[in-house]
Structure 1
């Protein structure tokens, strides 16, 4: 095999780390599957939101921004606050690792971390209650409301431009974990300005309220970053064409499979989206499936990667196709959502 000269690397010198980590890596996984992998996808949400709030005078340098987070948004917001001379207060999920917490503290953020809680519904609810307590105390904080404020979608228009530049004249389909909903909405809407037919495929864990699987319990599921235990205003069901619900074991299979097959160390939501994209790519060979890789795998080392020997073989897995939420069942269900606000619409 001849020696291949590697492509040129960027020589841009950035003024702040937030510009450096915005740039994703695009990796072709197969003929029609491309992974767009980030150190932290939510830098786009935090940058876009804070810039808009500063521009319209809602916040000013020296103000304190507060929000609830399971980890990667907290770090992104703390970095953006560092850049723009803002204070940062994070009400952190029980799932926030010590690695992330230490970084937040060094960046100058104050951190309220919720006590250990196996029920993430209680964890998310408790975090919101804590923010309300802070606001009632008159502490001069601006609540970022990443789960509800559409300002968090604005920064993803830049990402859509980057995607179109990297994959020109390509018929795309986007595969992404739903999470807060901001990245999916912020990316798909500008892409659809150029191709209204661009499909959006959402990935959910069982137990999430966003797309009707809250009656299920998956004791091992790490719901943060993929689904929601409480309703999120930024989730817009009418934007999604297809929905997949995966068990933790299937998401883990995708995550470990991605690293084994492609040497990509990425988070659980990325692994789940990768598993779904492989399935969708077979059904839609005419499109290039763009898989959103929201973060690296570091916060999943113990709960996912250390268990690699027990991971299922992703090539043996396939979804059960369902026609309504009444048929929804673990470990993997798929449904044509059809850009409806809810499946009965």
Structure 2
């Protein structure tokens, strides 16, 4: 018997997806991150029950942190994106978490900067709040050791490729790290949206990009670029099409990042079928019904979608580009460093 619902829903379903791939299908993956981080902070005495934990979120981490706080008797305050929907707002309220959403923004960069600035204001107003720093504190790697152990148990021995959203870096980066520490041959393939600075795609915008959780307009310290072997940039139309095709082929109803990871998995397997491919479905598809799944009649067929292979971030283009990482030369544009300065000045 589980002591709390957070433990019950965190473990993924391990599902075979033809041809020759494995899907880790989570209800909400970041529960691993939040539970592991809060446990560590409690065990090391950095926080005590009753303290208020605060962070920024576009939705999934907000739910995870609220559940972790409920599990361990903490208070929770979320500075949320406008993408936090009514279903989640109601759950947060009943769980005892407080939510404030920043004003609507025309792009991801402004939305994230507004949230970071509000966090800085809160810490000045309430210095007793503990900022979880999900984007920057490596304690968010800790919880994913359990996922790596699960992969070791469920996936046959031999080389594998792990495919999933880069996001804050803590999920795919951590799982690959723990698998490699266990001696597994792991090729790590990261998924990014266009417009994200994390791997140098901020110069290629995607007006319809609503998968903010897998990219960033500000640098994330938890993203360790040296862990990744390949990067795929997928736009909204193709991510939606991939999610529709994943549902059609396997019955797995997952978010847009899973659709992009499914496409990347199929493309990578065409290049090298000697590995077992494990791709991540980090959340369910429910919050994407109106914005994506309702347009399934316009989805592209799998046979029509292929990545544009590039060797430089300067050559990235819609709808789907892919590249070995690191690139042959230092190709990251200057705006990533500019964003680092912005973030440091904001939280000072």
Measured in 2, the distance between the counterparts of 1:287 and 1:296 equals: 26
Once the 2 structures are TM-superposed, how far is the Cα of residue 196 of structure 1 from its aligned partner? 5.6
Is the deviation greater in 112-121 or in 71-80? 112-121
2:211·2:257 contact (CA, 8 Å) conserved in 1?
Answer: no
1:236·1:341 contact (CA, 8 Å) conserved in 2?
Answer: no
Asked whether 1:234 is paired with 2:241, we answer no
Of 304, 307, 319, the residue aligned with 2:307 is: 319
Which residues of structure 1 form unaligned runs of 5+?
Answer: 1-12
Give the 3-state SS of the residue equivalent to 1:199 in structure 2: strand
Aligned to 2:145: 157
Measured in 1, the distance between the counterparts of 2:264 and 2:303 equals: 11
Structure 1's 341 and 110: CA in aligned 2 closer, same or farther, altered over 3 A? Answer: farther
Give the 3-state SS of the residue equivalent to 2:212 in structure 1: coil
Once the 2 structures are TM-superposed, how far is the Cα of residue 171 of structure 1 from its aligned partner? 2.2
2:10·2:31 contact (CA, 8 Å) conserved in 1?
Answer: yes
Query: Residue deviations 1:272-297, cap 9 Å, x none?
Result: 10111011112121111100110001
Aligned to 2:75: 87
Of 102, 121, 125, the residue aligned with 2:90 is: 102
Give the 3-state SS of the residue equivalent to 1:245 in structure 2: strand
Once the 2 structures are TM-superposed, how far is the Cα of residue 315 of structure 1 from its aligned partner? 2.3
Normalization by structure 2: what TM-score? 0.92
Aligned to 2:7: 19
Measured in 2, the distance between the counterparts of 1:258 and 1:196 equals: 27
Once the 2 structures are TM-superposed, how far is the Cα of residue 194 of structure 1 from its aligned partner? 3.2
Q: How many matched pairs? A: 332
Of 81, 105, 123, the residue aligned with 1:117 is: 105
Which residues of structure 2 form unaligned runs of 5+?
Answer: 333-348
Aligned to 1:40: 28
Of 120, 124, 130, the residue aligned with 1:132 is: 120
The residue correspondences of 1:1-345 to structure 2 (distance < 5 A) are 13-195=1-183, 197-338=185-326, 343=331
Give the 3-state SS of the residue equivalent to 1:308 in structure 2: helix
Give the 3-state SS of the residue equivalent to 1:175 in structure 2: strand
Once the 2 structures are TM-superposed, how far is the Cα of residue 342 of structure 1 from its aligned partner? 5.2
Give the 3-state SS of the residue equivalent to 1:111 in structure 2: strand
Measured in 2, the distance between the counterparts of 1:341 and 1:41 equals: 34
Give the 3-state SS of the residue equivalent to 1:154 in structure 2: helix
Give the 3-state SS of the residue equivalent to 2:186 in structure 1: coil
Give the 3-state SS of the residue equivalent to 1:276 in structure 2: helix
Q: What's the Cα RMSD here?
A: 1.5
Structure 1's 149 and 43: CA in aligned 2 closer, same or farther, altered over 3 A? Answer: same
Measured in 2, the distance between the counterparts of 1:194 and 1:159 equals: 13
1:243·1:337 contact (CA, 8 Å) conserved in 2?
Answer: yes
Measured in 2, the distance between the counterparts of 1:27 and 1:340 equals: 36
Is the deviation greater in 57-66 or in 279-288? 279-288
Once the 2 structures are TM-superposed, how far is the Cα of residue 190 of structure 1 from its aligned partner? 1.0
Measured in 2, the distance between the counterparts of 1:335 and 1:258 equals: 23
Once the 2 structures are TM-superposed, how far is the Cα of residue 226 of structure 1 from its aligned partner? 1.2
Query: Residue deviations 1:169-227, cap 9 Å, x none?
Result: 14211001111111012100111123464100011111000010101111100141111
The structure where helix makes up a greater share of residues is 2
2:158·2:185 contact (CA, 8 Å) conserved in 1?
Answer: no
Once the 2 structures are TM-superposed, how far is the Cα of residue 72 of structure 1 from its aligned partner? 0.7
Name segments (4+ residues, structure 1) moved above 6 Å.
none
